């Protein structure tokens, strides 16, 4: 059966999966969503014996129905290979009574590798399928991890260029170095004088700029996105929730059909939305626990039904979650509004003009699967400290936010359902924050001086991603103000 996609702001026009991946964002500014969420067509008995690559195929074929079996399997094999430092791709680690799904074993040591290892292959395959002759320009905003993972995925991929905007003072030192040392003739990195929300809204505005689209077209270019607004980023993320449940089953940690709760450290809402999609496909996920840091706009939304970004933007030790406009939430809003594109467009316009919108009580009721929670900076550091000193397990700041929220949820609700915490980055990516949390005597040490100490403390070898940047040359030095993004894109692409 062919599955088509439509915009969250207009339910009338439909496109194929490959067209949705190519476009990234719909012409009306909406996000592409499947007309209906598909179901898995394999049994749990079959699933639990599958490798990560086999699981990826049975999940993704349900969403990407205009890709042939050969095309999809080739994309999967190219993506999930020796770039990952563990054969199982997404290992499950049990710490006390909680299961951690480690999604940071790829080339850039963050969960974005899980989807951005395959997106370039999906995109170039989609371009061939649709007889695209123009060069595809990947335009992306990052809060720290997407940028490097996208740059690594698209570096020197024929027929593409990639431009990444990141907030100058809103990422960790390691994250910044990973981006500005990126090799590749087709790569460009720009430090933005602003925060992630400025970068994200600026990129969206460029996608919606009709005059710029015409100029690009005349110069032989077309935009696409590597952010989770691209359905080609979101679909591969569904895979690891299906895989994790199947592995818990295979390992005898749960019984078939037994529900689990999933806690996800959440910024742009893509990762937890993928868990929601996995649930709709038939995975017995009971509660989707949305963990925020001090930028707790999502926590407040799940509590009140009002989304309000009019608040102070806080720079935290978990910078990939320092976001006040969670763009993927639009896909959930569209779903719980009964796929009402007009109503959804109205909410998004209110967000753009007033910085806030409020959903109806009926819509809020339809989001009963979701629970919000948040952790302060102190609570995040305490979670890293206590987990290490009690168990020896070292987690990064984002994982710690989720672990704290999960623990607090269990204490407050007395819910004894088994818990899966999504671990989204290696502690090496945020070494100063992690080591200072473990022992505040490290606070005076320089970030890179602590790398060997983290290796000693964690017993985990320094990843290649860190070794590579320690002595790498800075190749990208561009900076710009938020109102100059269009000019700098044209400059990079040599469009006069």
Residue 289: burial class (beta carbons within 10 Å; 0-12, 13-18, 19+): buried
Q: DSSP letters of 411-457? A: HHH---SEEEEEE-B-GGGGHHHHHHHH-GGGGGS-GGGGHHHHHHH
Closest CA to 90 of 267, 286, 236, 231: 236
How far apart CA 479 and CA 167 sit, in angstroms, is: 10
Contact (Cβ atoms closer than 8 angstroms) between residue 367 and residue 302: yes
Residue indicated by tokens 């602003």: 194
Mean pLDDT of 397-402: 98
Tracing tokens 């929601």 back to the chain, one arrives at: 276
Cα-based angle 324, 325, 330 (whole degrees, multiple of 5): 145
Q: Is 314 exposed, middle or buried (0-12, 13-18, 19+ CB in 10 A)?
A: middle
Residue 108 has a pLDDT of 94
Distance from C-alpha of 247 to C-alpha of 235, rounded to nearest angstrom = 20
| Per-residue pLDDT reduced to its tens digit, 86-106 | 999 999 999 999 999 999 999
Q: What is the pLDDT of residues 363-374, one digit of tens each?
A: 999 999 999 999
Q: How far apart are CA 33 and CA 41, in angstroms?
A: 20
Are the beta carbons of 264 and 272 closer than 8 angstroms?
Answer: yes
* Whether the Cβ atoms of residue 289 and residue 405 lie closer than 8 Å to each other: yes
Give pLDDT, residue 438: 98
Rounded to whole angstroms, the Cα distance separating 490 from 496 reads 7
- Would you say how long the chain is, in residues? 496
3-state secondary structure of 299: helix
Segment 149-169 mean pLDDT = 95
Q: pLDDT tier at 13 (50, 70, 90 boundaries)? A: confident
- Residue 259: other Cβ atoms inside 10 A: 14
Q: Is the pLDDT of residue 1 over 80?
A: no
Sequence-separated (6 or more) residues with CB below 8 Å from residue 286: 259, 260, 261, 369, 417
Rounded Cα gap, residues 82 and 71, in angstroms? 20
Mean pLDDT on 77-84: 96
DSSP 374-403: E--HHHHHHHHHHHHHHH-----HHHHHHH
Nearest 5°: the CA angle 190, 192, 195 is 135
For residue 228, pLDDT over 90 is answered with: no
The pLDDT of residue 496 is above 90: no
At what angle are helices 231-250 and 119-129 packed, to 10 degrees?
130
244-264 tens-digit pLDDT:
999 999 999 999 999 999 999
Q: Is the pLDDT of residue 11 over 90?
A: no
pLDDT at 73: 98
Cα–Cα distance measured from residue 12 to residue 83, given in angstroms and rounded to the nearest whole number? 41
The pLDDT value recorded for residue 145 is 87
E-state strands within 197-330: 221-224, 260-265, 285-292, 306-308
Angle of CA points 307, 354, 373, to nearest 5°: 15
What would the mean pLDDT of 439-449 be, rounded to a whole number? 92
CA 269, 270, 271, 272 torsion-angle sign: positive
Per residue in 134-144, pLDDT (tens digit) is 999 999 999 88
The DSSP call for residue 461 is P
What per-residue confidence (pLDDT) applies to 371? 98
Question: Known catalytic residues?
Answer: 112
168's tokens: 């100058």
User: Residues with Cβ < 8 Å from 31, sequence gap 6 or more?
Assistant: 7, 8, 25, 229, 231, 327, 328, 330, 331, 334
Q: Note the pLDDT of residue 12.
A: 86
- Model confidence over 195-225: pLDDT tens digits? 999 999 999 999 999 999 999 999 999 999 9
Mean pLDDT (the chain, rounded): 96
How much is the CA Rg of the chain, to the nearest whole Å? 21
Q: What are 260-300's pLDDT values in tens digits?
A: 999 999 999 999 999 999 999 999 999 999 999 999 999 99
82 pLDDT band (50/70/90 cuts)?
very high
Q: Give me the residues paired with residue 288 across strands.
A: 262, 370
Q: List b or e across 358-376, with b for residues whose CB sees 16 or more CB atoms inside 10 angstroms.
A: ebeeebbebbeebbbbbbe
Q: Give the C-alpha separation, 417 to 429, whole Å.
A: 31
- CB 394, CB 458: distance < 8 Å: yes
């Amino acid at each position: 059966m062919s599955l088509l996609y439509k915009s969250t702001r207009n339910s009338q026009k439909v496109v194929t999966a490959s067209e949705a991946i190519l476009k990234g964002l719909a012409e009306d500014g909406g996000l592409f969503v499947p007309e209906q969420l598909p179901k898995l067509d394999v049994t749990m008995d079959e699933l639990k014996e599958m490798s990560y690559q086999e699981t990826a195929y049975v999940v993704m074929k349900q969403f990407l129905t205009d890709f042939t079996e050969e095309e999809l399997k080739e994309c999967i094999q190219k993506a999930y290979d020796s770039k990952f430092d563990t054969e199982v791709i997404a290992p499950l680690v049990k710490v006390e009574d909680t299961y951690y799904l480690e999604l940071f074993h790829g080339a850039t040591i963050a969960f974005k590798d899980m989807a951005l290892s395959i997106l370039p292959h999906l995109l170039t395959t989609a371009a061939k399928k649709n007889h695209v002759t123009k060069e595809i320009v990947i335009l992306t905003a990052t809060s720290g991890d997407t940028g490097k993972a996208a740059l690594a995925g698209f570096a020197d991929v024929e027929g593409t260029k990639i431009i990444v905007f990141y907030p100058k003072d809103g990422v960790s030192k390691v994250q910044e170095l990973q981006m500005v040392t990126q090799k590749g003739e087709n790569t460009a990195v720009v430090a933005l004088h602003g925060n992630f929300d400025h970068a994200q809204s600026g990129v969206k505005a460029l996608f919606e700029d009709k005059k710029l689209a015409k100029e690009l077209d005349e110069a032989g270019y077309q935009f696409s996105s590597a952010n989770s607004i691209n359905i080609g980023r979101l679909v591969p993320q569904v895979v690891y929730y299906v895989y994790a449940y199947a592995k818990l089953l295979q390992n005898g940690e749960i019984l078939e059909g037994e529900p689990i709760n999933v806690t996800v450290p959440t910024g742009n809402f893509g990762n937890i939305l993928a868990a929601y999609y996995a649930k709709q496909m038939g995975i017995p996920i009971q509660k989707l626990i949305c963990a925020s840091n001090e930028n707790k706009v999502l926590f407040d939304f799940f509590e009140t039904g009002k989304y309000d970004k009019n608040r102070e933007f806080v720079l935290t030790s978990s910078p990939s979650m320092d976001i006040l406009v969670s763009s993927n939430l639009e896909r959930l809003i569209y779903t719980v509004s009964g796929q009402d594109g007009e109503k959804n467009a109205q909410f998004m316009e209110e967000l753009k003009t007033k910085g806030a919108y409020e959903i109806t009580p009926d819509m809020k009721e339809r989001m009963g699967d979701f629970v919000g929670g948040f952790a302060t900076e102190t609570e995040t550091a305490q979670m890293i400290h206590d987990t290490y000193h009690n168990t020896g397990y070292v987690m990064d700041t984002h994982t710690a936010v989720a672990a704290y929220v999960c623990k607090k949820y269990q204490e407050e609700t007395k819910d004894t359902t088994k818990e899966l915490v999504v671990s989204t980055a290696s502690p090496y990516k945020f070494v100063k924050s992690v080591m200072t949390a473990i022992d505040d005597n490290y606070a005076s040490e320089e970030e890179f001086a602590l790398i060997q100490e983290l290796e000693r403390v964690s017993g985990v070898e320094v990843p290649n991603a860190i070794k590579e940047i320690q002595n790498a040359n800075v190749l990208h030095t561009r900076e710009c103000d938020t109102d100059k993004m269009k000019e700098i894109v044209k400059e990079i692409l040599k469009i006069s």
